[in-house]
Amino acid sequence: MEPVAGVTTAGRGGRAGQRARYGIDGGYAGLAVFGLIEAGLAGTVAWAARRRRPAVAALACLGGAAVAGSAASYLYSTGPGKRGIWAQLLDELGLRGDEHVLDVGCGRGAVLMLAARRVPAGRAVGVDVWRRRDQSGNSRAAAERNAVAEGVRDRVEVADADARDLPFAPASFDVVVSSLAISNIRGASGRAQALREAVRVLRPGGRLRIVDDGADRYAPVLREAGCTGVTVRQLGWRTWYGIPGHHIPLVAAARPADPGSSL
């Protein structure tokens, strides 16, 4: 099982002294910082009011605790929570180790590197358009540095590509994964196009795993694209992203093994 806490350190073949850093998802980095500042202010009010206005102090403490808890939850979900969930999802696939895996919208590679570790004799390919507003410090170079730090550079490729127009031949990959990326594409038709592309590059019998806000809405599109075994599952508290009760779904699907399918 992968370590799930904090920033992954180089080891097991990673370059000594380098640490993989996966950034913070979304424009929410600002939100997290704002939350911490708010919590600090609430603490200050509580401290100042503690003698003369204990009720105000108590309320400020409660507000501060709620904001701090929300920020902590966000940071947990964007880091160790996400990596823990994906480690589990990838383990559930029971990979042999020689598969070709594609990560659509890989960003700095949190999921890509987890996949790469599981395919020592295979390939892990990540594509992205590297939008900074979707992940802090997002760049192809950051993903490449993380591959070195994680000791998987030999089997990782990263390429500039839009999810709606993947530069791969049909049936190129055994597994296609995507984490929190497709929802960033504007318009339902653009998202549907990205899903069809993910299915197109999947080999017959290949498997697809997408974790994304609104991934439950992807299920009909995947069925229409010819996928079988399409299931949706809520991923629980690790995907709260600062909002208790908010769950990000996983949609799982497979491309039928029958080469005569409609795809």
Ligand X SMILES: C[S@@+](CC[C@H](N)C(=O)[O-])C[C@H]1O[C@@H](n2cnc3c(N)ncnc32)[C@H](O)[C@@H]1O
Which residues lie near ligand X (CB under 6 A)? 22, 25-26, 82, 105-107, 110-111, 128-131, 134-135, 138, 162-164, 179-181, 184-185
**Residue (21 or 233) nearer to ligand X, CB:** 21
**Residue (42 or 90) nearer to ligand X, CB:** 90
**Residue (60 or 240) nearer to ligand X, CB:** 240
**Residue (26 or 64) nearer to ligand X, CB:** 26
**Residue (162 or 216) nearer to ligand X, CB:** 162
Mention every residue, 6+ apart, whose C-beta is less than 8 A from residue 34. none
- How far apart are the C-alpha atoms of 131 and 174, rounded to whole Å? 27
Give the full edge-to-edge strand order of the sheet including 173-179: 156-160, 123-128, 100-104, 173-179, 202-211, 249-254, 228-234
**Residue (6 or 259) nearer to ligand X, CB:** 6
Give 135-163 as a DSSP string: BTT--HHHHHHHHHHTT-GGGEEEEE--T
Q: How far is the CB of 185 from ligand X (least distance, A)?
A: 5
93, 207 in Cβ contact below 8 A?
yes
Mention every residue, 6+ apart, whose C-beta is less than 8 A from residue 80. 4, 5, 6
Q: How far is the CB of 257 from ligand X (least distance, A)?
A: 27
Q: How far is the CB of 166 from ligand X (least distance, A)?
A: 9
Query: Residue 157 pairs with which residues in a beta bridge?
Result: 125
Q: How far is the CB of 109 from ligand X (least distance, A)?
A: 7
Q: Which residue is nearest to ligand X (CB)?
A: 107
Q: How far is the CB of 220 from ligand X (least distance, A)?
A: 21
Q: At what angle do helices 110-117 and 82-92 cross, to 10 degrees?
A: 30
Q: How far is the CB of 106 from ligand X (least distance, A)?
A: 5
119, 95 in Cβ contact below 8 A?
yes
Structure tokens, 185? 């594409």
- How far apart are the C-alpha atoms of 42 and 141, rounded to whole Å? 39
